[in-house]
Structure 1
């Protein structure tokens, strides 16, 4: 049954650009990472980790690698003393920010309704 689910998932994600996009930016930490980096031109690893409560080093590293693989984040190494790495958004990711802002506004609008429904349960 799991194989069928994977085949169905792959079939729809290949046919639907929205599902494909959600596979890339989905996950618990990817959007918070994008959102934090968008607030600055570039950010160092430890600054990013401190700005996202609850994220572990492993999850931050894996999420950054995945976002870099998909061309949404640029990793720049500085071979100075001390050496350091900075992360910034690519042009493709900057193109995504207006859509995320719209989703953010939608979320703010429906959040009170969601909270009201859950308080009555």
Structure 2
């Protein structure tokens, strides 16, 4: 018979399992809106974009710019695979702004963000 046991699942274990980058998360309000960014090209720049709209846009398969399809798929992967948000929720505007700069998007500490969301249910 096994006695009670403790389980430890810290950032270290999360990082080892996921391979995602950890670091300080900057103020997400700092990501500026790009006048002709993906948020404007694909969603008219409006404030609320649902996951259902994001998925529909990906399924349409039409892109105005070279990397729009990649950016839309990155948004879907972050929100529906890593975070597993339900489709009734919205894509955070700061993420739509962040994905317009793929270098900054790739450098973002997604491990810290996803861990926080997974463990504490943080709304972002």
Bigger fraction of residues in strand: 1
Structure with max Cα Rg: 1
Give the structure, 1 or 2, with the largest relative contact order (CA under 8 Å, sep 6 or more): 2
Question: Larger helix proportion, structure 1 or 2?
Answer: 1
